[in-house]
Amino acid sequence: MSRDKKVLIYEAALSLVYENNDLSAIKVADIARRANIGKGTVYEYFHSKEQVIGEALIYRIQQGLQRFARLLDEGLSFKETYLAFLRHYKAMISKNRHIYNLMTMNPAHVAVHAAVHAVIYPRLRQLKDQYFQLMERLVARSVEEGIIKPDPDRFDWQTAVLSSITGIFLHQQFPADFPHLGDEEVLEKAYSVYVKLLS
């Protein structure tokens, strides 16, 4: 019961995260209203607003990891898997714009409220490791299929994956700059970035 209610609150908080683009603009009252519960009830399950949002973000990341793990188990080819992975990223990015926009222009932009960060940080490191472990399985598959050279450097393949994602971001953020490029073409390009960097 307690588990369900927590998830209900997570989903409410996340839907607001997607809409607001600024974590500190999210109010406890909003979360409660979105979840159709009383404001006080939120505090039956969490100590603070920051804990709600922080845990909600972690919850979403974990979902992404599970989905990624399931995708890896489907036995698809590397390319199919990689494209599915990128498509998922694309979908997530589209829920919350502005991110890339500001980031590339000036690194002096900001990610999360310090208090939320304090909640997330201890578990984020571990989630990141899980994430890259899954990614490593995917990379291994591309080696097995002979698509890239064997035994790529850890830094190189991580850069390669992030570069693929970067292309996706770029297209998503400034579609008007690339009228000649359709969604599928961008995915192909992103795939080819990976291949080029690791061949």
Partner DNA sequence: CATGAATGAGACTTCATTCAT
Partner DNA sequence: AATGAATGAAGTCTCATTCAT
Question: Interface residues with DNA (CB under 7 A)?
Answer: 1-2, 5, 26-29, 36-41, 43-45, 47-50
3-state secondary structure of 148: coil
Q: How far is CA 197 from CA 100, 136, 189, 190, in A?
A: 22, 16, 12, 11
Comparing CB distances to its own copies, the nearer of 76 and 135 is 135
Alpha-carbon distance values, 144 to 80, 159, 164 (Å): 15, 20, 20
Cα–Cα distance, 70 to 66 (Å, whole number):
6
| Cβ proximity to its own copies, 33 vs 189, nearer residue | 189
3-state secondary structure of 97: coil
Q: Which does 73 bind (CB under 5 to 8 A by kind): its own copies, DNA, none?
A: none
* Among residues 64, 136, 137, 140, the one that binds its own copies under rule CB under 8 A: 64
**Measured between alpha carbons, how far is residue 190 from residues 22, 42, 131, 184, 196 in Å?**
29, 42, 19, 10, 10
Least distance in angstroms from the C-beta of 44 to its own copies:
12
What, of DNA, its own copies, none, does residue 66 touch, CB below 5 to 8 Å by kind? none
Q: Which of residues 68-107 bind its own copies (CB under 8 A)?
A: 89, 92-93, 95-96, 98-107
Contact partner, 159, from its own copies, DNA, none, Cβ < 5-8 Å per class: its own copies
107 HSE (CA, 13 A, CB side)? 0
Please tell me the distance from the alpha carbon of residue 138 to that of residue 142, in angstroms, as a whole number. Answer: 7
The answer to whether residue 135 forms part of the interface with its own copies (CB under 8 A) is no
Site residues, its own copies (CB under 8 A): 14, 17-18, 20-25, 57, 60-61, 64, 89, 92-93, 95-96, 98-114, 117, 120, 124, 127-128, 131, 154-156, 158-159, 162-163, 165-167, 169-171, 174, 177-178, 181, 186, 189, 193, 196-197
